[in-house]
């Protein structure tokens, strides 16, 4: 976020903050742009929210200027991450940057923000086009390389993503570049290097800020995938201490308790996360835990909530192309949890047609075919999913089951044996199937 020209209004008392917000809403009524929305009570505590409202109000008072529009768009993009209301804030930010680009189609900062919004909406190819155009204008901007890293990772162009990440970290060694290096190392199976880079990202960040604690949570997840559950728990607790009520940290603790078979505690943490942030994945997790407890009714209830959320977002995109959010990969997994394999395949193929080289997309397509009993196609797509030598135990377990049942029992058995080193994070159905093979 560009903070250089953001003003801070120092004032005391809740009354001032409320007055500023009401003034902002009144001004917004007379504007073509969407307003800043009040946060839910659970995430509206502390000075951060008051400062955000005050900064937005000041920017709105000068919204005819290009700089005010791009700075307000930046605030909206961050607010989308914090609140989980990405559809609304992506649209709000896009309105602002499009207003600037309408007057000057080559405006650099607005083009950067537009690419970032497209990435948030999973419109990766469109973001890549903008990133490539911007690179011709400026080869010394870390932000451009960040856009191109993200777009190429999601499109499955991993070698290109690595090259852009090297450029980015050389220009600006900070949280944003270190975290991207970490993710690429994870993709290529280097968990030791991934953890080292994510530690550097956390150290480079400001304690308590959303992006810093997001990195702390990602570090915890790397520990999870490495089988270091206790260390993962420490990372999640650290993120919560630095940023109280941080939903991703609650979810991390939920996964820890689920892995340790403390299901009631897991439910508590996932509900805590859900109370802070609207995200379909928390209901998916709740569905999984309730299934482990044998409560089929609650499991069905929560996976239906997750599906409703995902489909509602997809429908918003159908109604308004400016806020379209591709979520077919997520829908494919959700429909598998509901045991609707045909719908799962429909969405997996839709995602594959957009991103045929992405390893995660090939994994979900392979897994859907496996669940449908089509081992030939399952083997075909899982081979692509393994192209980067990922060490993700969930991926490798699925690959092992696919190869074993597809006729390659040697390779399948090797992958299954390796995945059992982190058996506590495997889904019960996969673990049971694996243990029936590896006795």
Indicate the pTM of the whole model: 0.90
What number of other Cβ atoms are within 10 A of residue 123's Cβ?
20
Q: Which pLDDT score is estimated for 320?
A: 66
Query: For the segment 351-410, what is each residue's pLDDT rounded down to a tens digit?
Result: 999 999 999 999 999 999 999 999 999 999 999 999 999 999 999 999 999 999 999 999
| Residue 23 neighbours by CB under 8 Å, 6+ apart | 57
What is the C-alpha separation between 423 and 409, in angstroms, rounded? Answer: 20
31 burial class (0-12, 13-18, 19+ CB within 10 angstroms)? exposed
What is the C-alpha separation between 206 and 212, in angstroms, rounded? Answer: 6
Q: Which pLDDT score is estimated for 44?
A: 87
Per the CB < 8 A criterion, the answer to whether 117 and 150 are in contact is no
Integer angstrom CA distances of residue 187 from 78, 156, 162, 435: 26, 11, 11, 27
What number of other Cβ atoms are within 10 A of residue 288's Cβ?
21
Query: For the segment 73-123, what is each residue's pLDDT rounded down to a tens digit?
Result: 999 999 999 999 998 999 999 999 999 999 999 999 999 999 999 999 999
Reference 183, options 434, 388, 20; nearest CA is 388
> Consecutive sets of 10 residues in the chain, 439 residues long: mean pLDDT of each?
34 37 47 86 86 93 92 96 92 96 95 96 96 97 98 99 98 98 99 99 97 98 97 99 96 98 98 94 98 97 97 75 80 97 98 98 99 98 98 98 98 97 94 94
| HSE-up of residue 52 (Cα within 13 Å, Cβ side) | 24
Q: Which pLDDT score is estimated for 400?
A: 98
Q: Which pLDDT score is estimated for 321?
A: 62
What is the C-alpha separation between 422 and 85, in angstroms, rounded? Answer: 34
> Would you kindly state where each structural domain of the chain is located, as residue ranges?
1-121
Q: Which pLDDT score is estimated for 2?
A: 39
């Amino acid at each position: 976020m560009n903070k250089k020209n953001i003003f801070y209004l120092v004032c005391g008392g809740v009354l001032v903050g409320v007055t500023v917000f009401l003034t902002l809403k009144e001004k917004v009524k007379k504007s073509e742009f969407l307003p800043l929305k009040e946060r839910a009570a659970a995430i509206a505590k502390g000075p951060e929210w008051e400062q955000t409202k005050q900064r937005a109000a000041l920017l709105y008072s000068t919204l005819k200027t290009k700089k005010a529009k791009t700075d307000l768009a930046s605030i909206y993009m961050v607010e989308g991450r914090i609140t989980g209301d990405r559809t609304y804030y992506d649209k709000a930010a896009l309105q602002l940057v499009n207003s600037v680009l309408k007057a000057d189609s080559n405006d650099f900062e607005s083009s950067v923000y537009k690419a970032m919004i497209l990435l948030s909406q999973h419109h990766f190819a469109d973001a890549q086009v903008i990133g490539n155009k911007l690179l011709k204008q400026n080869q010394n901007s870390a932000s451009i390389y960040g856009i191109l890293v993200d777009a190429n990772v999601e499109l499955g162009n991993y070698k290109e993503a690595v090259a852009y990440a090297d450029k980015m970290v050389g220009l600006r060694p900070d949280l944003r570049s270190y975290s991207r290096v970490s993710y690429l190392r994870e993709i290529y199976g280097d968990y030791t290097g991934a953890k080292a880079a994510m530690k550097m990202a956390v150290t480079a960040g400001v304690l308590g800020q959303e992006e810093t604690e997001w990195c702390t949570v990602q570090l915890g997840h790397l520990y999870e995938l490495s089988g270091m559950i206790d260390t993962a728990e420490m990372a999640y607790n650290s993120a919560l201490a630095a940023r109280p009520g941080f939903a991703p940290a609650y979810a991390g603790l939920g996964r820890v308790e689920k892995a340790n078979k403390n299901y009631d505690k897991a439910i508590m943490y996932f509900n805590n996360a859900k109370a802070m942030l609207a995200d379909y994945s928390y209901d998916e997790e709740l569905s999984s835990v309730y299934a482990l407890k044998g409560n089929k009714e609650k499991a069905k209830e929560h996976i239906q909530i997750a599906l409703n959320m995902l489909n509602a977002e997809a429908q918003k995109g159908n109604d308004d192309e400016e806020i379209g959010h591709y979520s077919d990969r997520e829908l494919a997994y959700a429909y598998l949890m509901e045991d609707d394999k045909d719908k799962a395949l429909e969405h997996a193929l839709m995602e594959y047609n957009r991103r045929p080289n992405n390893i995660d997309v090939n994994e979900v397509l392979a897994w859907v075919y496996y669940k449908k009993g089509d081992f030939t196609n399952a083997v075909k797509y899982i081979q692509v999913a393994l192209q980067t030598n990922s060490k993700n135990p969930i991926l490798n377990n699925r690959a092992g089951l696919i190869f074993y049942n597809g006729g390659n029992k040697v390779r399948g058995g090797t992958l299954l044996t390796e995945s059992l080193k982190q058996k506590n994070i495997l889904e019960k159905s996969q673990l049971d199937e694996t243990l029936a093979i590896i006795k």
